């Protein structure tokens, strides 16, 4: 081969076409990513708005459409192309490709290259070309036909830099960063995997105990909150980070742990990484547990401590870092701004714990960095650092053991009564009082005095925020349990007026049924309700039923009536009809929605409330709304006269 041909071969490197298996994996990954982001958007929107954004069927159709479109586009985008150049070395610059599937390349001057490094163990290993002011260019061994293509690319780039003396200092920095990156890639992050395994085991135990769907179980297992520490529960400061509230919560935190732990433990070593992660998590837990307004669960506090430490490393030791440890500062600021925006949208996020963990991790990293050579971070650290790390780990293990003993010996009732000891504390947030109202409502052996005490606290919450439907619903539940049915109905009706959602409508239907049954009311009692709803079903052809409302007197200012749909004594739903000026004694309600028409085929109607002047509509106008019973509400026990006895 001629000298010119050899030089051309060493200066140009082409991608190999992707195999069918690679294309399938890429399509699957992008499909899961886009549908996962879309589903996460629904979760965030539901948490921010406290209601479903779209019906489940519409969401399923939307997610299916997103998956199909993503798969189609990804399959087209990854179609085999011949001769896509990955790297081309010129006299004063290099052309680098961002993707295997496009011929577009970026021009990078040799003076802008700050690192040539390998990251992550096989089979995920990548070769990164770090460029000042840009995202790094990454290449995998499997993207090239030649097994040693990455070694040849690195050798060619180093050869070009070594040709000129002006690149000598730059090349020395590249060599130093390459040694640090090789050290990070060569040592497996054992402590990261230990934390991952421990949290996974605890999450499996949570799932088996049913605490993912039960806030009281989370409290019992060790959630971090100051109102749960009156019995010596300081261990909760350590245990809250290992508990999670949902599958997606656990998965997101563990993915972040792996991605951050791979870099941070590799840079600092296991001892320093343990002190930063666990110490930062403890700092965030103390701030959240003693001053926060919500119970804290989730490993995200430790994640934020790692993020703080990684940003400190990028600010103080940036010259020693190479991708992916070298994070663009603009990207870091953008992610922090995104976190701030997310905290405003989702009030359940523990912002105090997150930011306290962030600054705790950053401070600990600052204290550990003086005198630290990153190239020797894996060596045995000083005795005081080992003692601090071992002591901190022992405290976490002892707290987990104490939490396990407490979980075995306690039950939901004892945890609720423990939390109720702080009902008179003005710091207790209204969300927790609402949760206690639900908990004591479900508590079979709750005494009259306990229910009255929780009811009084819920009254204070409603007095402060009289228009919040969730607080009205909680107070209505307690009134229902205490047999104050008239007040329970009035409170739930107000909640439904503030937020016309199926949950509040289902609760109102339960309360109305209990109230009417206690009165002995019948479905055809026009003298009591002032109106009767009649269903006319066709005996011959299968046609939808027709619905009529009959009045015993005109209502010139309009009228609103509520009716229960019942089938064999079981509640099916709640129907609300609002009419403008009523001068006739019989009005047909049409059209009927499909779900209402289906329910009327089997269910009977019982008018439970008629309010003249509530319509406030134009004459002859008509509005109707039907809420089917929510399954979780329908599963609640039916009302019965309370018997508190001597409790």
Q: What is the pLDDT of residues 198-217, one digit of tens each?
A: 999 999 999 888 777 778 88
**Nearest residue to 588 (alpha-carbon basis) of 639, 545, 645:** 545
Paired tokens of 187: 């040592």
- Cα 275 from chain centre: 27
Higher pLDDT, 215 or 115: 115
Q: What is the pLDDT of residues 216-272, one digit of tens each?
A: 888 888 888 888 887 778 899 999 999 998 888 898 889 889 888 888 888 888 999
pLDDT at 54: 63
Sorted by sequence, the CB contacts under 8 Å of residue 190 that are 6+ apart come out as 265, 270
pLDDT-based confidence at 3, cuts 50/70/90? Answer: very low
The 3-state DSSP composition of the chain as helix, strand, coil percent (nearest 5) reads: 55, 15, 30
**Nearest residue to 362 (alpha-carbon basis) of 285, 307, 287:** 307
pLDDT-based confidence at 647, cuts 50/70/90? Answer: very low
Task: Please give the average per-residue pLDDT across 543-566, as a whole number.
Answer: 79
Q: What Cα–Cα distance (Å) separates residue 193 from each residue in 251, 254, 261, 270, 374?
A: 14, 10, 9, 11, 21
Helix (H) or strand (E) holding 73: helix 56-77
Model confidence at 400: pLDDT above 90: yes
In the beta sheet, which residues pair with residue 576? 562, 625
pLDDT at 7: 40
Q: What does the angle CA 365 – CA 354 – CA 250 come to, to the nearest 5 degrees?
A: 105
Higher pLDDT, 341 or 7: 341
Q: What is the pLDDT of residues 596-641, one digit of tens each?
A: 888 888 888 888 888 776 545 555 566 788 888 888 888 877 766 6
Q: What is the DSSP string of 433-459?
A: HHHHHHHHHT-TT--HHHHHHHHHHHH
pLDDT at 9: 47
Sorted by sequence, the CB contacts under 8 Å of residue 177 that are 6+ apart come out as 114, 115, 117, 130, 319, 320, 321, 322
Q: What is the pLDDT of residues 501-531, one digit of tens each?
A: 888 999 999 998 888 887 765 443 433 456 7
- Cα 419 from chain centre: 25
Model confidence at 547: pLDDT above 80: yes
Task: Please give the average per-residue pLDDT across 416-427, as a whole number.
Answer: 87
Checking 204-212 for CB contacts under 8 A at 24+ apart, the result is 206/243, 206/244, 211/243, 212/244, 212/245, 212/246, 212/247
CB-based contact 133:140 (threshold 8 Å)? no
Sorted by sequence, the CB contacts under 8 Å of residue 476 that are 6+ apart come out as 487, 488, 489, 491, 492, 495, 507, 511
DSSP 380: -
Q: What Cα–Cα distance (Å) separates residue 129 from each residue in 82, 112, 310?
A: 24, 10, 20
Higher pLDDT, 123 or 182: 182
Sorted by sequence, the CB contacts under 8 Å of residue 234 that are 6+ apart come out as none
Q: Residue 230 in 3-state DSSP?
A: coil
pLDDT-based confidence at 415, cuts 50/70/90? Answer: confident
Highest mean pLDDT among 137-141, 146-150, 259-263, 458-462: 458-462
Residue 335 burial (CB count, 10 A) = 13
């Amino acid at each position: 081969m001629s000298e010119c041909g050899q030089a051309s071969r060493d200066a140009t490197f082409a991608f190999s076409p992707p195999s069918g298996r690679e294309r399938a994996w890429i399509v699957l990954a992008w499909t899961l990513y886009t549908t996962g982001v879309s589903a996460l958007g629904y979760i965030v929107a539901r948490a921010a708005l406290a209601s479903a954004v779209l019906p489940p069927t519409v969401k399923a159709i939307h997610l299916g459409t997103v998956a199909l479109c993503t798969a189609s586009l990804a399959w087209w985008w990854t179609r085999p192309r011949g001769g896509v150049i990955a790297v081309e070395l010129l006299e004063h610059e290099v052309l680098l490709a961002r993707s295997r599937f496009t011929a577009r390349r970026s021009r990078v001057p040799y003076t802008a290259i700050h690192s040539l490094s390998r990251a992550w163990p096989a089979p995920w290993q990548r070769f990164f070309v770090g460029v000042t002011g840009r995202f790094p260019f990454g290449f995998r061994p499997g993207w090239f036909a030649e097994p040693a293509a990455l070694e040849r690319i690195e050798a060619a780039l180093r050869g070009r830099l070594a040709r000129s003396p002006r690149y000598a200092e730059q090349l020395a920095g590249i060599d130093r960063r390459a040694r640090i990156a090789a050290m990070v890639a060569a040592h497996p992050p054992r402590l990261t995997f230990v934390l991952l395994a421990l949290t996974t085991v605890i999450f499996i135990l949570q799932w088996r105990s049913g605490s993912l769907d039960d806030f009281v179980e989370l409290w019992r297992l060790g959630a971090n909150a100051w109102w749960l520490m009156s019995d010596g529960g300081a261990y909760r400061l350590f245990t809250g980070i290992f508990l999670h509230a949902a599958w997606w919560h656990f998965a997101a935190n563990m993915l972040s742990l792996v991605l951050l732990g791979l870099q941070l433990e590799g840079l600092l070593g296991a001892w320093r990484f343990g002190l930063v992660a666990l110490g930062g998590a403890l700092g965030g837990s103390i701030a959240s547990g003693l001053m926060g307004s919500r119970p804290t669960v989730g490993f995200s506090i430790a994640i934020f401590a790692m993020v703080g430490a990684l940003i400190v490393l990028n600010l103080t030791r940036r010259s020693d870092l190479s991708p992916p440890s070298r994070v663009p500062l603009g990207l870091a600021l953008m992610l922090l701004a995104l976190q701030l925006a997310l905290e405003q949208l989702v009030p359940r996020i523990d912002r105090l714990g997150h930011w306290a963990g962030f600054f705790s991790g950053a401070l600990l990293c600052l204290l550990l960095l003086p005198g630290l050579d990153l190239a020797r971070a894996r060596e045995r650290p000083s005795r005081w650092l080992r003692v601090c790390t071992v002591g901190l780990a022992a405290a976490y293990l002892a707290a987990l053991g104490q939490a396990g003993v407490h979980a075995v010996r306690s039950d939901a009732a004892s945890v609720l009564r423990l939390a109720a000891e702080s009902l008179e504390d003005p710091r207790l947030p209204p969300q927790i009082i609402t949760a206690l109202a639900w908990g004591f409502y479900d508590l079979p052996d709750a005494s009259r005095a306990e229910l009255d005490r929780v009811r009084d606290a819920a009254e204070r919450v409603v007095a402060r925020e009289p228009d919040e439907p969730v607080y009205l619903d909680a107070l209505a539940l307690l009134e229902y349990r205490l047999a104050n049915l008239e007040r329970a109905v009035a409170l739930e009706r107000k909640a439904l007026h503030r937020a016309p959602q199926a949950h509040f409508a289902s609760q109102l239907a339960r309360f109305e049924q209990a109230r009417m049954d206690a009165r002995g009311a019948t479905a055809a009692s026009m003298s009591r309700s002032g109106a009767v709803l009649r269903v006319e079903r066709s005996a011959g052809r299968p046609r939808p039923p027709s619905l009529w409302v009959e009045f015993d007197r005109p209502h010139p200012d309009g009228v609103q009536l509520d009716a229960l749909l019942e089938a064999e004594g079981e509640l099916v739903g709640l129907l609300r009809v609002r009419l403008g000026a009523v001068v006739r004694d019989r009005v047909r309600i049409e059209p009927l929605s499909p779900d209402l028409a289906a329910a009327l085929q089997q269910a009977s109607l019982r008018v439970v409330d008629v309010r003249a002047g509530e319509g406030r509509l134009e004459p002859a106008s008509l509005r109707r709304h039907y809420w089917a019973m929510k399954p979780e509400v329908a599963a609640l026990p039916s009302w019965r006269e309370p018997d508190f006895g001597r409790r």
